[in-house]
């Protein structure tokens, strides 16, 4: 075992042993024995209430170009949350098990809505705000959410649908009307009210449905319980402390700089990485968050200097964008200590640009998914320097194995399909019995990812979710795009796949075969897709095939062969 692997193992033993803060114990979940953090909260309300102890310390800075920064202490934040929760019960008669969606960009109100809903014990449904009205409508119908927090853009998109979509809108920073109640007014009216008493609940009651794209082409709702998320948050904390213990020299240098911990939030809150690792972990830990209106590398540099930001974790493409900005040297980024790249495989440029810009950054990455509530493995500091191609070592909650195509266990170190067993894995897919039957077996979750774990306990990914494309941290499932292309009268067959991208990790490519005699331009194809898809899902490369697409004897398109043939598209 390598020295860093042994060090991490020793640190974990100290943190998770009997009487330790992150003591482990075994409990049954659906009849399966799983490791738990003994001291983790039993509810989201208890989890979030830990942040109240930080009082008047600054919690949140919201920066929008051309506007003065908005600042919230922890007390300010919780006053807003309590008033909003009071109104959800008093004015909207919110009930246990009721679904409440959030469809807005990153605003302070997003965080307030989330905290209010889960503290009451209702079920929060974070929606991808980049989606089209058609995509938002599908998820709202699928989840049967009847209260939706929106910003102005989403209010305009959803209002025409309200004729037959039974939703009540609460709008933040937008226009109130007969369909939408003003969120600020709601909070002001209940200023000073206490958080209502939560309903009686069980630790395995559902509390969140977070949608992720599915191989059927339509999003699936990943249903999490209080237990799933509270254990996941404790895992984040445990892994972070373990990494700090394993890298004492780096941590000493950070403390010597004298900068209070402060994170720059630039990733969407509707993803597990933004919601958990950026929002909830810092809320509990008493650390300041700086939130931007939208991603802009120069604005991020300004805020890093102004707010003495110490932590920046984003998609690899955003990190590269920041480090390579032509104005980088015009700003003081000396406070920046920890830099993380998550949400996609880190391209070679990721580590290179960090090494060029930051003398001794604490760099990290990891492996997790929506269905595991972001928990899997993590790699930071010395571990990342020693194994930059790895996704790190496992959370103490996680069991890992690889299997062949028939579900047979493979020897350790042999590449295969990754199966995970953990208390943080979602309870199920919302109303998807067929997906549940194929994705969960005897307590194990079949990820669809290909990889292996070596003798030192480091996880390596060879292929992520098979056909899944991860562009700049956003998940794109080819089946969704292929399903739309099949509806075009001139398209005979299609294959959507990812090609390497130096900055974004991957870009979307499409290979089309048209009906005899038909002709389509690239712009016509993109315009057709743009009516139904968010902009980040649109293909960068469109190729046309004159011969049938390659298929195996069972008739399945050989994506692997197509990807190999067109792998150099980005170099053309």
Asked if the domains 75-224 and 469-571 are classified in one and the same CATH topology, the answer is: no
Yes or no: is domain 469-571 CATH 3.40.50.970? no
Report yes or no: 382 and 4 within 8 Å, Cβ to Cβ: yes
pLDDT for 216? 47
Ranges of each domain in the chain: 75-224, 469-571
CATH of domain 75-224: 3.40.50.980
Going by C-alpha positions, the residue among 133, 123, 134, 319 that lies closest to residue 226 is 123
First to last CA, the chain: 43
Residues 117, 81: Cα–Cα separation, whole Å = 9
Alpha helices in 381-532 (DSSP H): 382-386, 433-439, 478-485, 522-530
pLDDT for 9? 96
Residues 21, 37: Cα–Cα separation, whole Å = 9
Tokens of 128: 């991808």
Residue with tokens 């509806």: 487
Report yes or no: 508 and 541 within 8 Å, Cβ to Cβ: yes
pLDDT for 39? 97
Report yes or no: 458 and 390 within 8 Å, Cβ to Cβ: yes
Q: What is the 3-state secondary structure (H, E, C) of 518-550?
A: CCCCHHHHHHHHHCCCCHHHCCCEEEECCCCCC
Residues 484, 491: Cα–Cα separation, whole Å = 10
The percent of residues in the chain predicted with pLDDT above 70, rounded, is 96
pLDDT for 515? 86
User: Cα torsion at 390, 394, 399, 405 (round to 10°)?
Assistant: -10
pLDDT tens column, 381-427: 999 989 888 999 999 999 999 999 889 999 999 988 999 999 999 99
Measured CA to CA in angstroms, residue 556 lies from 485, 494, 560 at distances of 17, 12, 11
pLDDT for 572? 67
pLDDT for 571? 75
Residues 277, 254: Cα–Cα separation, whole Å = 20
User: Which residues, at least 6 apart from 203, have a Cβ–Cβ distance to it below 8 Å?
Assistant: 42, 43, 225, 226, 227
Query: Tens of pLDDT along the chain (572 residues)?
Result: 789 999 999 999 999 999 999 999 999 998 899 999 999 999 999 999 999 999 999 999 999 988 999 999 999 999 999 999 999 999 999 999 999 999 999 999 999 999 999 999 999 999 998 888 999 999 999 999 999 999 999 999 999 999 999 999 999 999 999 999 999 999 999 999 999 987 888 999 999 999 986 444 678 999 999 999 999 999 999 999 999 999 999 999 888 999 999 999 988 999 998 999 999 999 999 999 999 999 999 999 999 999 999 999 988 878 888 998 999 999 999 999 999 987 555 666 677 788 888 887 899 999 999 999 999 999 999 999 898 889 999 999 999 999 998 899 999 999 889 999 999 999 999 999 999 999 999 999 999 888 999 999 999 987 666 678 888 888 788 878 988 998 899 998 899 999 988 888 899 999 999 988 899 999 999 999 999 999 999 999 999 999 988 976 445 688 888 988 988 887 76
What is the model's pTM?
A: 0.87
pLDDT tens column, 36-82: 999 999 999 999 999 999 999 999 999 998 899 999 999 999 999 99
pLDDT tens column, 484-526: 998 899 998 899 999 988 888 899 999 999 988 899 999 999 9
Residues 332, 329: Cα–Cα separation, whole Å = 7
pLDDT for 567? 82
Residues 50, 286: Cα–Cα separation, whole Å = 9
- Backbone phi and psi for residue 54, each to the nearest 5 degrees, phi listed first: -85, -5
pLDDT for 219? 87
pLDDT for 215? 43
């Amino acid at each position: 075992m390598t020295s860093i692997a042994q060090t991490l193992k020793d640190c974990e033993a100290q943190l998770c042993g009997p009487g330790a803060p992150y003591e482990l114990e075994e409990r049954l979940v659906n009849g399966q024995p799983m490791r738990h953090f003994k001291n983790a909260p039993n509810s989201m309300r208890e989890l979030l209430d830990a942040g109240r102890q930080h009082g008047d310390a600054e919690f949140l800075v919201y920066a929008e170009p051309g506007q003065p920064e908005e600042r919230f202490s922890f007390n300010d934040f919780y006053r807003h949350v309590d008033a909003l929760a009071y109104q959800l019960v008093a004015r909207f008669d919110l009930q246990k098990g009721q679904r409440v969606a959030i469809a807005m960009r990153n605003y302070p109100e997003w965080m307030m809505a989330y905290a209010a809903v889960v503290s009451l014990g209702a079920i929060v449904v974070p929606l991808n705000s980049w989606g089209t009205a058609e995509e938002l409508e599908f998820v709202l119908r699928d989840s049967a959410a009847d209260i939706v927090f929106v910003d102005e853009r989403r209010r305009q998109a959803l209002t025409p649908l309200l004729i037959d979509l039974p939703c009540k809108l609460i709008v933040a920073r937008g226009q109130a009307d007969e369909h939408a109640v003003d969120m600020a007014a709601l909070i002001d009216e209940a200023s000073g009210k206490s958080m209502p008493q939560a309903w009686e609940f069980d630790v395995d009651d559902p509390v969140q449905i977070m949608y992720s794209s599915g191989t059927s082409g339509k999003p699936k709702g990943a249903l999490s319980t209080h237990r799933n998320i509270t254990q996941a948050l404790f895992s984040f904390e445990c892994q972070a402390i373990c990494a700090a213990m394993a890298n004492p020299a780096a941590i000493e240098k950070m403390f010597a700089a004298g900068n209070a911990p402060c994170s720059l939030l630039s990733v969407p809150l509707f993803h597990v990485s933004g919601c958990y690792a950026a929002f909830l972990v810092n809320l509990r830990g008493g650390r300041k968050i700086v939130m931007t209106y939208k991603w802009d590398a120069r604005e991020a540099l300004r805020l890093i200097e102004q707010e003495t930001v110490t932590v920046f974790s984003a998609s690899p493409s955003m990190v590269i964008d920041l480090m390579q900005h032509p104005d980088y040297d015009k700003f003081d980024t000396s406070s920046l200590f920890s830099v993380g790249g998550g949400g996609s495989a880190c391209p070679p440029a990721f580590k290179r640009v960090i090494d060029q810009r930051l003398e001794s950054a604490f760099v990290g990455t990891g492996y997790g998914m929506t269905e595991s509530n972001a928990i899997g493995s993590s790699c930071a500091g010395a571990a990342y320097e020693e194994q930059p191609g790895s996704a790190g070592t496992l959370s103490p909650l996680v069991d890992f194995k690889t299997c062949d195509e028939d579900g047979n266990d493979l020897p350790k170190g042999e590449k295969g399909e990754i199966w995970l067993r953990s208390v943080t894995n979602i309870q199920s897919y919302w109303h998807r019995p067929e997906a549940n039957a194929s994705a969960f077996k005897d307590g194990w979750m079949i990820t669809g990812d290909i990889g292996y774990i070596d003798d030192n306990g480091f996880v390596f990914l060879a292929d992520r979710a098979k056909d899944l494309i991860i562009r700049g941290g956003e998940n794109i499932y080819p089946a969704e795009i292929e399903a739309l292309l099949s509806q075009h009268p001139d398209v005979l067959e299609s294959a959507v796949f990812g090609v390497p991208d130096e900055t974004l990790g991957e870009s979307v490519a499409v290979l089309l075969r048209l009906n005899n005699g038909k002709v389509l331009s690239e712009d016509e194809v993109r315009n057709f897709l743009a009516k139904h898809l968010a902009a980040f899902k649109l293909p960068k490369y469109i190729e046309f095939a004159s011969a049938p697409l390659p298929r195996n004897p069972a008739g399945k398109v050989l994506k692997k062969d197509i990807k190999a043939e067109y792998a150099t598209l980005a170099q053309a």
